A and B are shown apart, each in its own frame.
Chain A
């Protein structure tokens, strides 16, 4: 399967924070051959790829399964739904969006209401999410019968490959990261390693990294490579805060990240000719690395990011070669640091 297809397959499964089952199922199918899989109490998917015995270093590769979305919070008398956000929803892109409400009995189509311009003074202001509603074309009675409070809502997107090796879909944040991790794990499963290697594709990153934190506590790794997406530059964004799409893995440096891992990653990327760029963050990284680093007695963490355009929109876009560069760098790093005769270091 091509990397682009793999990303699109992962994106095809809906998994709004706290409801990642379907996304986990798809990923499970891709990981099952690599080692025993299980899901944690919080819905994260763990695959134990390599066991090196007690005392050996333990590398955890992680990316998050969940995607942003909305959650049904109230059903109006006339059947319209009120929602709240699950993760950061940009209010500038919700009006008149086509949505699906994910109910116990499958998805229902709908539209996010927009007030016609004649009723809406052109004051340039965006309505608040709590003031919007979703039209599912039902009476109150019917809506209450078919839709439960707490059901998740996603904005529909047009998942597809674009020319130039790009992939566009909702939920690429962070299914592209999941793809990098799975690609790396596949290659490392066949390698001789002196470390334990686990994959954790985790729940609830977008609402506070509860999935990553508890997965790390369960696995107690010594090292972790977290893979997430980060900003790719577009002309309306500050250049200094962005990477460039198509220019390779973004290797993170931040107080919470391990300096040694950062340096080693850069060195290996240079040596192996893997395209990379440096991403600097002043404090926390805003990713699962923050939670994993402080789990248990502390974990050395590296953060690799895939440059993404239009983060947290239904039109998220990444370049396949960046996803592959991240996988290449993970493989290089784990082999260089922990490769060898398969014995504990």
Chain B
């Protein structure tokens, strides 16, 4: 079931601020298995009764949104200008195809044959790029798209090699699927869940979700950059696939609770669950907002290592997903005590 959830969720478009379809799918998954509500910004706030009431209020959050593109202008000739929503490496954009709702488009550029030697070496700037939906002029384009429409990259979901999964929005639908699976399971302690909006554009949903739930201990369920590819100096690999969930002590947004971090490592070791520290201070997630909500919460980030994050071709491994799934109830069991 978990992998069906992952495949289904990662294929649904849900660029920040437009998470409806993802939310709808998650609500279908958790319906009847917990109490929930949808808040003003579109977060799903859910409560799952466990066997006991925890000493401190627990929350697990996972963001529903994904990075993508947003249409900013329609040229006379029917081509669309766009900007990025969330952090996308501009070098990964040209030559890709996208879907703007039902409308197919491509991010084209002149043929390499017409590029100067210098142009061939250089990554194109975002404001020189355009999206071609095949419309012959502005009027035709306006029948198909509107300013503010979001675009997602086309991506073929695939299972390949030794348990690897390739998909577009694995960041962070893997986290959403794991949280939905937790809600389906029998939990040792009561637990609040937040499926949040707009993480990629400022951790907005995480902030307002935590303000309402006011957790004392919060686990942010995420994916994080793995750079376990050739030519990377060991100190910059950060984390690797097939080594289990990644536990953060610090990133560019948060210094995590040291006690939670250490206990999580110990619990994993005791239970024989693979896990790895995030060996490098890079990136960030909604823990930064959750941490300072209300009177403050102790936070821990548990991430599934993911290669090629924020591209149409995110890659995770089943082993890491499975180990994360094993670790989460153990953490709830320990942190609720």
Contact in complex: B104, A98 (CB < 8 Å): no
Contact in complex: B166, A109 (CB < 8 Å): yes
Q: Which residues of A contact B230 (CB under 8 A)?
A: 76, 78, 80, 113, 133
0/1 per residue, A8-50, Cβ < 8 Å to B? 0000000000000000000000000000000000000000000
Interface size range of chain A in the complex: 35 or more
Contact in complex: A317, B132 (CB < 8 Å): yes
| Cβ-based interface call for B206 (8 A) | no
Contact in complex: B313, A96 (CB < 8 Å): yes
Q: Which residues of A contact B225 (CB under 8 A)?
A: 116, 118
The CA of A313 and the CA of B134, in the complex, are separated in Å by: 16
Report the minimum CB–CB distance from B41 to chain A (whole Å): 28
Q: Which residues of B contact A135 (CB under 8 A)?
A: 161, 164, 229, 307-308, 315
Report the minimum CB–CB distance from B92 to chain A (whole Å): 4
Query: Which of A162-170, A181-189, A266-274 contacts the other chain?
Result: A162-170
Closest to B229 in A: A113
User: Do most interface residues of chain A lie in helix, strand or loop, or is the interface mixed?
Assistant: loop
Q: Which residues of A contact B155 (CB under 8 A)?
A: 98
Partner of A125, one of B75, B113, B121, B309: B121
Closest to B112 in A: A90
Partner of B108, one of A79, A113, A315: A315
| Cβ-based interface call for B82 (8 A) | no
Report the minimum CB–CB distance from B10 to chain A (whole Å): 13
| Cβ-based interface call for A255 (8 A) | no
Q: Which residues of A contact B270 (CB under 8 A)?
A: none
Contact in complex: B109, A234 (CB < 8 Å): yes
| Cβ-based interface call for A297 (8 A) | no
Please, how many residues of chain B have a CB less than 8 angstroms from a CB on the other chain?
65
Contact in complex: A235, B134 (CB < 8 Å): no
| Cβ-based interface call for A106 (8 A) | no
Contact in complex: B109, A117 (CB < 8 Å): no
Query: Which of B123-131, B191-199, B207-215 contacts the other chain?
Result: B123-131
| Cβ-based interface call for B51 (8 A) | no
Q: Which residues of B contact A78 (CB under 8 A)?
A: 230
Contact in complex: B229, A97 (CB < 8 Å): no
| Cβ-based interface call for B91 (8 A) | yes
Contact in complex: B108, A313 (CB < 8 Å): yes
Partner of B161, one of A118, A120, A138, A315: A138
The CA of A158 and the CA of B311, in the complex, are separated in Å by: 16
B91, B135, B238 interface centre (most CB from chain A within 10 Å): B91
Q: Which residues between 219 and 238 of chain B lie within 8 Å of chain A, taking CB atoms?
A: 225, 227, 229-232, 236, 238
Contact in complex: A111, B110 (CB < 8 Å): no
Report the minimum CB–CB distance from A311 to chain B (whole Å): 4
Q: Which residues of B contact A116 (CB under 8 A)?
A: 89, 225, 227, 282, 308-309
Known interface pairs A119-B227, A162-B134. Does A92 touch B95 (Cβ–Cβ under 8 Å)?
A: yes
Closest to B225 in A: A116
The CA of A93 and the CA of B153, in the complex, are separated in Å by: 13
Contact in complex: B92, A138 (CB < 8 Å): no
Partner of A90, one of B77, B95, B311: B95
Contact in complex: A131, B231 (CB < 8 Å): yes
The CA of A110 and the CA of B156, in the complex, are separated in Å by: 11
Known interface pairs A111-B166, A124-B123, A156-B156. Does A92 touch B91 (Cβ–Cβ under 8 Å)?
A: yes
Contact in complex: A315, B229 (CB < 8 Å): no
The CA of A135 and the CA of B104, in the complex, are separated in Å by: 27
| Cβ-based interface call for B271 (8 A) | no
Partner of A96, one of B111, B132, B164, B311: B311
The CA of A120 and the CA of B280, in the complex, are separated in Å by: 15
Report the minimum CB–CB distance from A321 to chain B (whole Å): 13
| Cβ-based interface call for B4 (8 A) | no
Contact in complex: B121, A236 (CB < 8 Å): no
| Cβ-based interface call for A314 (8 A) | yes
Contact in complex: A164, B110 (CB < 8 Å): no
Partner of B283, one of A95, A118, A156, A312: A118
Partner of A98, one of B140, B156, B229, B238: B156
| Cβ-based interface call for A157 (8 A) | yes
The CA of A78 and the CA of B160, in the complex, are separated in Å by: 16
B79, B122, B280 interface centre (most CB from chain A within 10 Å): B122
| Cβ-based interface call for B94 (8 A) | yes
Of the A-B pairs whose beta carbons lie under 8 Å apart in the complex, a sample of 13, sorted by A's number, is: A96-B92, A96-B308, A96-B313, A97-B313, A108-B161, A113-B307, A115-B227, A116-B225, A118-B280, A135-B307, A137-B317, A168-B97, A238-B114
A: residues with CB less than 8 A from B are: 76, 78-80, 88, 90-98, 108-120, 124-126, 131, 133, 135-139, 142, 155-158, 160, 162-164, 166, 168, 231, 234-238, 241, 246, 286, 309-315, 317
Closest 3 CB pairs of A and B: A137-B161, A93-B95, A137-B164
